[in-house]
Amino acid sequence: MAETSVPVRTCVGCRERAPVTDLLRVVLRAGALVPDPRRRLPGRGASLHPTPECLRAAERRRAFPRALRLSGGSSAPVEAGPLRAHVLGATAPGEAPPGRANAHERQTAVPPTDRQPAGPHVESRTSSDESAVKSPR
């Protein structure tokens, strides 16, 4: 029986014990939950399966503030953006770094003068729509 030398932590999402190599360490940095895949950041960390299910479960039961021993108030929500981006694969639109994702999809750049800075989006021009509007599929 080979005893594993890998420490075991409890996932704050599903509450199951797992080797730390299967879990993602999460630390709090400046009020935001950030992933620490290499487990090198200082401070108190929480362990989480890097899956959307466990992330949602942890958020739903507010496990992060508890695991990270935030100040007793626990009314201040923690910003989970960086962690979500890591776990969910940065599926949020507009978050992708430019210059990499446009190889397979040629996008016609909208000239800056074509955009109204503020106010309701009034579609008054229809003559040039068929070249500017393109369905993503």
In angstroms, give the least distance from the CB of 73 to Zn ion: 26
Total residues at the site for Zn ion (CB under 5 A)? Answer: 5
Q: Which of residues 22-51 bind Zn ion (CB under 5 A)?
A: 49
Residue closer to Zn ion (CB basis): 6 or 132: 6
In angstroms, give the least distance from the CB of 109 to Zn ion: 42
HEC string for the chain:
CCCCCCCEEECCCCCCEEEHHHCEEEEEECCEEEEECCCCCCCCEEEECCCHHHHHHHHHCCHHHHHCCCCCCCCCCCECHHHHHHHHCCCCCCCCCCCCCCCCCCCCCCCHHHCCCCCCCCCCCCCCHHHHCCCCC
Work out whether 14 is an interface residue with Zn ion (CB under 5 A).
yes
Residue closer to Zn ion (CB basis): 46 or 54: 54
In angstroms, give the least distance from the CB of 54 to Zn ion: 3
Work out whether 20 is an interface residue with Zn ion (CB under 5 A).
no
Binding site for Zn ion (CB under 5 A): 11, 13-14, 49, 54
